[in-house]
Amino acid sequence: MRLRLSLAALALGSVAVPALAEEVNVYSHRQPELIQPLVDAFTKDTGITVNIAFVDKGMAERLVAEGARSPADIVLTVDIARLKQIVDAGVIQPVENAVLDANIPESLRDKDNMWFGLTTRARIVYASRDRVKAGEVTTYEDLADPKWKGRLCIRSGTNDYNIALLGAMIVHHGEDYARTWAEGIKANLAKKPNGGDRDQIKAIAAGECDIALGNTYYMGQMLADPETKPTADMVRIDFPVFENGGSHLNISGVAMTKAAPDKEAALKFMEWLSSDEAQRIYAEKNHEFPVKAGVPRSELVQSWGEFTPDTVSLSDVAAARPAALKIMEEIDFDN
């Protein structure tokens, strides 16, 4: 279309050709409702349209199949391992940009500038306020102790968040220990893994279990919603740590595709996502932890108190994903 308009302009001489509106095409692992407030604010600020395709599974495979014909400019992911997958698939291009480098800490961006972290979140323990004493939950390792038998709820063991946690356990203690730990977690389950993190909070409130593993921001979203707040109020957040580390963190991140049709608009969106305004939206609307220095967490998240983030390399955690997935499949965790 752009070529046809240019040829027509040449033929007609003085006829002006209207500029094509900028737009960004996004493939997203993130649920649409979590990023729509960001999209709306960005379009309001810049006039650039953002088109989102929610791709829950097979994003790397889809980008490989589309090749140079892919309409996607950038990808948004929910997990460090997903970022590594698309990098390993060869469908991402490096982005060297001073704004991104200034806004995003070096530890939360790829050393080769292939991906950039936008938020962090902790995978922690939801605990019943009535049935679990404060301070009773201490470490991730302790969750495999038989004292929790019949008291633990969790979503699928092959979910990205749980695979990342198991990957971190591998980094800390090795595969043999991680397998034994995962078997201990399975033995302590109150019911078959199902649902999402919000469902684990609901299960605790309903008395189906006493503790569960989940991400911090899901609790924030339920507490901020008048309809779900009474349920969430029955549950407490505890920050366990690894025996030789801190609380497990993961990231949401962004990368530019190799085929990006509109690199300029894509870069504007990437820069904006690291800005004060976007980071505040992440904090206030999603209750995630901003990565940009100086942008505070939401008041709700701050009310949970401080915690010690784990310091293991996220790249190492991502590299452990295949081993973690193999463990979950071999022990038939979900059954």
51 and 70 within one domain = yes
321 and 178 within one domain = yes
234 and 166 within one domain = yes
pLDDT digits 0-9 by tens, 252-296 = 999 999 999 999 999 999 999 999 999 999 999 999 999 999 999
Residue 1, burial from CB neighbour count under 10 angstroms (0-12, 13-18, 19+): exposed
Mean pLDDT per 10-residue segment, the chain (335 residues) = 31 39 90 88 96 91 96 94 92 97 94 95 97 96 98 96 97 98 98 97 98 96 96 98 96 96 97 98 95 96 95 92 97 96
Residue 293: inside a domain = yes
The whole-angstrom separation of Cα 94 and Cα 113 is: 5
Angle at which helices 263-273 and 32-46 cross, to 10°: 110
Residue 284: inside a domain = yes
Residue 7: inside a domain = no
Looking at the structure of the chain, the number of domains it has is: 2
pLDDT at 289: 96
223 and 282 within one domain = no
Residue 217: inside a domain = yes
SS percent in the chain: helix, strand, coil, step 5: 45, 20, 35
The whole-angstrom separation of Cα 188 and Cα 315 is: 30
The whole-angstrom separation of Cα 138 and Cα 142 is: 7
Residue from 197, 190, 55 nearest 122 by CA: 197
261 and 239 within one domain = no
Domain span at residue 70 reads 16-120+249-302
pLDDT digits 0-9 by tens, 71-115 = 999 999 988 988 999 999 999 999 999 999 999 999 999 999 999
